[in-house]
A and B are shown apart, each in its own frame.
Chain A
């Protein structure tokens, strides 16, 4: 089975965000594989273990993303591809999906797995956009995947309910929490990963003209939410506190 994962290097979720000169300040920040993409990598490796084949992880990003690709290789992916998009100024979900679509044009993927959303930009657009561009089916927010021959039976999370879907390969799926428990790279895995192929592509290699992947949206300002003023810690007998809270919510906050 020809299995692909699209993944992204993102800010660690434990990081505070601050803004410097109109940009998110990345100085000294820890980066990770987008947590939802980890589910995709784990599921891809599980599929390969059950059905055979090869797992290729692909990212659109800068040189720094090599580190996260190596982590995916250490988890068990077979090969990695880094598509360098530094020539695209302020790309958006359209840009990324278009670049990936050019990459996948001649790939004959049976299944492409992605995270359902990234924890940074959180547009959730790249997966479904890519599927449309490739003319294949996409199933989003999946929590279970069973593949038998050409058929996939999928469970997806729909706001807490489960939808059970049947579809044919080739398919793109986006992964939701609950799908699996991503494995940690083992020490032998890390050693092997150093020797696994990591290919670097420029837009030229994919015959992409920068103008064709130019963003269709533009960010004009970044800002931080207003800091909250200190709240009121209630005191006294616990029964009194509960009564006071109920009354404050009713008369002061007016939310009940």
Chain B
């Protein structure tokens, strides 16, 4: 029975959901073998319990001063030392900013295969088959690792975490790690994301296109996102027109997102945008043009002016929330 290591991730003081999703994936692969969590950074020891409640058998933690914030050298050394001592057959990390940066370095050091951005995995006999999007979700591939660890990064919002079990217990062990020669120094972190909700992990996204017309126009989308507890995204058209920051862009260039609910406002539905959001579970389109391509992939559509419809939706959802 394989042993699988899962690197959890702390973001702004909390464990990210994708860490629990990665544990669920690890459980599947371990087939009754041990799932070992690894948590690095500030307050890791206190947060580790949650990894156990979501299915890890035990958790290794380090609050080493050089691991308080993510650096590629620090985290690579930490994970490699744990891989060396634990000798797992599998390793899972969230496909987040950190996971994308870190996993290829570890794979290179271990001379291992790595499957990035897995949205599903199937275990049959000894085979673990990962499914991942290519061409930003215009197609998918099924892939296996043929050499090295069963190593994957897990895309947020796609694999269901296990039910939280408050009664579950397991060992939380402080590990001694030697971190040296950090070649990159973080001088400063400038927070630009207002709500702290990351697009790739948001369950609800309100997104705007050229039809939003201005920076000002995006405020009404933010109100709707706030009413729903979601995040705001944008099409390339809106970013190119300087209505919003490129960090908000969704599409084949930009972010690929799979929220439960995607509300597209004043977005025509160009193929490169659709590639980034068409795998959302429920899509709502609001557009003045009844012929807009976005309606062809929407579950629900309203033909109308977004500046009329969106404020009404804000009112409606606020009252839903109150009730």
Interface membership of A256, Cβ < 8 A:
yes
Q: Inside 8 A of B96's CB, which chain A residues have their CB?
A: 159
1/0 per residue, CB under 8 A from B, across A1-33: the answer is 000000000010111110100001000000000
Taking A217-B143, A220-B144 as contacts, is the C-beta distance between A238 and B184 under 8 angstroms? Answer: no
CB distance from B14 to the nearest CB of A (A): 14
Spot the interface stretch: B52-60, B212-220, B279-287.
Answer: B279-287
Smallest Cβ-Cβ distance to A19: which chain B residue: B139
Taking A24-B139, A125-B114, A249-B284 as contacts, is the C-beta distance between A232 and B301 under 8 angstroms? Answer: yes
Spot the interface stretch: B25-33, B85-93, B98-106.
Answer: B98-106
**What does DSSP make chain A's interface, helix, strand, loop or mixed?**
mixed
Taking A129-B105, A222-B140 as contacts, is the C-beta distance between A231 and B190 under 8 angstroms? Answer: no
Q: In the docked arrangement, what's the CA distance between A221 and B146, Å?
A: 15
Which residues 74-117 in B have Cβ within 8 Å of A in the complex?
96-97, 100-101, 103-105, 107-109, 111-117
- Chain A's interface size range is 35 or more
Which residues 203-256 in A have Cβ within 8 Å of B in the complex?
214-225, 228, 230-234, 238-239, 241-243, 245-246, 248-250, 253, 255-256
CB distance from B49 to the nearest CB of A (A): 25
CB distance from A116 to the nearest CB of B (A): 8
- Chain B's interface size range is 35 or more
Q: In the docked arrangement, what's the CA distance between A215 and B198, Å?
A: 33
Interface membership of B22, Cβ < 8 A:
no
Smallest Cβ-Cβ distance to B290: which chain A residue: A233
Interface membership of B185, Cβ < 8 A:
yes
Spot the interface stretch: B39-47, B159-167, B304-312.
Answer: B304-312
Query: Would B105 and A128 count as touching, CB distance under 8 A?
Result: yes
Taking A11-B135, A159-B97 as contacts, is the C-beta distance between A239 and B312 under 8 angstroms? Answer: yes
Interface membership of A119, Cβ < 8 A:
yes
Q: Inside 8 A of B235's CB, which chain A residues have their CB?
A: none
Q: In the docked arrangement, what's the CA distance between A245 and B285, Å?
A: 11
Q: Inside 8 A of B190's CB, which chain A residues have their CB?
A: 161-164
Taking A16-B271, A231-B299 as contacts, is the C-beta distance between A141 and B97 under 8 angstroms? Answer: yes
Q: Inside 8 A of A17's CB, which chain B residues have their CB?
A: 135, 138-139
Query: Would B200 and A177 count as touching, CB distance under 8 A?
Result: no
> Which of B117, B204, B272 is the one whose CB lies under 8 Å from A122?
B117
Q: Inside 8 A of A126's CB, which chain B residues have their CB?
A: 104
Q: In the docked arrangement, what's the CA distance between A132 and B284, Å?
A: 44
Interface membership of A92, Cβ < 8 A:
yes
Q: Inside 8 A of A15's CB, which chain B residues have their CB?
A: 271
Q: In the docked arrangement, what's the CA distance between A104 and B119, Å?
A: 34
CB distance from B6 to the nearest CB of A (A): 20
Q: Inside 8 A of A233's CB, which chain B residues have their CB?
A: 290, 295, 300-303
CB distance from B239 to the nearest CB of A (A): 8
Binding site for B on A (CB under 8 A): 11, 13-17, 19, 24, 35-36, 92-94, 97, 119-133, 137-141, 143, 153, 157-168, 176-178, 214-225, 228, 230-234, 238-239, 241-243, 245-246, 248-250, 253, 255-256
28 inter-chain pairs at a CB distance below 8 angstroms, sorted by A residue, are: A13-B253, A94-B114, A120-B135, A126-B104, A129-B107, A139-B184, A159-B97, A160-B198, A162-B189, A164-B186, A164-B187, A166-B185, A167-B183, A167-B184, A178-B245, A214-B147, A217-B113, A222-B134, A225-B137, A231-B301, A234-B301, A238-B304, A242-B309, A242-B312, A245-B300, A246-B316, A249-B284, A256-B320
Top 10 A-B residue pairs of the complex, sorted by shortest distance between their CB atoms: A216-B113, A132-B108, A178-B246, A128-B104, A125-B104, A17-B138, A160-B193, A216-B147, A162-B190, A160-B247
